[in-house]
Structure 1
């Protein structure tokens, strides 16, 4: 940025900061002001505006590092992306209004000044948005890895009998993981009967039922029997209303009844001593 513009900003620094704090209070207070103590909200605003103006004195790498540290701290504390974008937009408005109201700003330098300020503000906004996006992408990636590790294990409960408990929503990507884990587990545990427990599945729609039917067909192709258990009354009603045909493989209302059926299929039973 041109030295003359930097000097102009610093000469009116206090006025710019005061007007910005008033402006950002109006645009952001409804979102964050209710969730934070008043002093904490004002303290963060003051830190934000000082950081913006101080970037003029820093080299590019140092300025980016300070912005990154500030953004990461607020992101981890739960501040929304709108706080950064609205705060920078408010700063742009205040700065341009202050600059244009200055009689020393000649008409021939207006467009140059606008371009310099726009480039500076846009650079800060882009970095803050990148930091916010990168943080959430990293969080989402870690959550997907955790879900993959916990998703649909095949658990051997008796010799030749295994259970796969399903919990949460089943989408196409997760259905593929379930299928892989199911088939690999059948071979590993030499299962003859597999119980798919949908007690923890909140909604069974046409797509979920389709994935379950595909899983049962795959189980049959590798020489095992599939039993669907954990069908709650509301799930049964949904299945009937949607006209979904689950008649190709046995169903049981509870895991216990499914295990009893599995024992019968492997020529065993539970007896009282």
Structure 2
């Protein structure tokens, strides 16, 4: 910005700020800021206009404005708050400069517009890049979190783990299931893995193929895979499609599958007799 116009803007910062705050305040109840408290909204607006003038004083040093935008990103304010605010500031600034001029012709108006645009546009572009980078990072983290949740391997007992599957299984998710299964079996020293497909709405040829591959991979590293959650409609579909699931155990429920897993690891569920229950109760009473 030429020094003459810069001086006009700086020397009249209070008046320009007042006008800008009035314009921005009108947007409060119209859009994304309607849920923000009046106190927070007003304090943020004052800080915003101050860092804009700070960037003018520092001759397009955007550090102060960047730090301000980083705080807004962390607080979850939308990018449109900054872009709308800068566009409003551009309009208010241009109007003020024109009102201070005795004579305004087309050349002078064009020069003012170009000068202010050259100052505001780089700020907007930088902030858009920062916001885009921040949101891309956030989306990437969310994608990783969803991937971890989409195929979790849960150790429920020594040498026994369960992988509950919910939703549609596509090729990408099947690859993740395979990776998590193999890594989890080795990490948890699992002897038996139960794959629970109760929450899988459709088991077609592709899904069954992926499950068979996963079970075969588990077998190759020395563990047993039990497929549980075989509902009647899924059983009928598997039979109609001619899918062979005879290579590994299948059970209709997680409970039955877990009982089988206990037997495969040389364990069983036993009921305590009434006398043993009484002995335990007496022991607990003596410890009180």
Q: Which band: TM-score by shorter chain?
A: 0.7 to 0.9
- Map of 1:25 onto structure 2: 25
Does structure 2 retain, via aligned residues, the 8 Å contact 1:165–1:197? yes
- Map of 2:227 onto structure 1: 228
Q: TM-score, normalised by structure 1?
A: 0.74
Alpha carbons of structure 1 residues 164 and 85: separation in structure 2 relative to 1, 3 Å: same
Does structure 2 retain, via aligned residues, the 8 Å contact 1:170–1:208? no
Single out whichever of 3-12 and 122-131 deviates more from structure 2: 3-12
Q: Identify unmatched segments of 5+ residues in structure 1.
A: none
- Map of 1:8 onto structure 2: 8
For residues 26-75 of structure 1, what are the alpha-carbon distances to aligned partners after superposition, in whole Å with 9 as ceiling and x for unaligned? 23443454323212211111111121122111144xx3221121111122
Mapped to 2, the partners of 1:166 and 1:188 lie a distance apart of 20
Q: Identify unmatched segments of 5+ residues in structure 2.
A: 273-288
- Map of 2:215 onto structure 1: 219
Q: CA deviation at 1:213?
A: 4.3
Does structure 1 retain, via aligned residues, the 8 Å contact 2:218–2:225? no
Which of 79, 91, 94 does residue 93 from structure 1 map onto? 91
Does structure 2 retain, via aligned residues, the 8 Å contact 1:28–1:86? no
Does structure 2 retain, via aligned residues, the 8 Å contact 1:154–1:181? no
- Map of 1:81 onto structure 2: 79
Highest RCO, 1 vs 2 (Cα 8 Å, sep ≥ 6): 1
3-state SS of 2:26 partner = helix
Does structure 1 retain, via aligned residues, the 8 Å contact 2:163–2:193? yes
Q: CA deviation at 1:184?
A: 4.0
- Map of 1:107 onto structure 2: 106
Q: CA deviation at 1:122?
A: 1.1
- Map of 2:68 onto structure 1: 70
Q: CA deviation at 1:217?
A: 2.6
Mark the structure with the bigger radius of gyration. 2
Does structure 1 retain, via aligned residues, the 8 Å contact 2:195–2:227? yes
Aligned residues: 263
Alpha carbons of structure 1 residues 131 and 255: separation in structure 2 relative to 1, 3 Å: same
3-state SS of 1:27 partner = coil
Q: CA deviation at 1:230?
A: 5.0
- Map of 2:55 onto structure 1: 55
- Map of 1:137 onto structure 2: 136
Single out whichever of 217-226 and 118-127 deviates more from structure 2: 217-226
Does structure 2 retain, via aligned residues, the 8 Å contact 1:88–1:125? yes
Mapped to 1, the partners of 2:195 and 2:179 lie a distance apart of 14
Q: RMSD value over aligned CA atoms?
A: 4.0
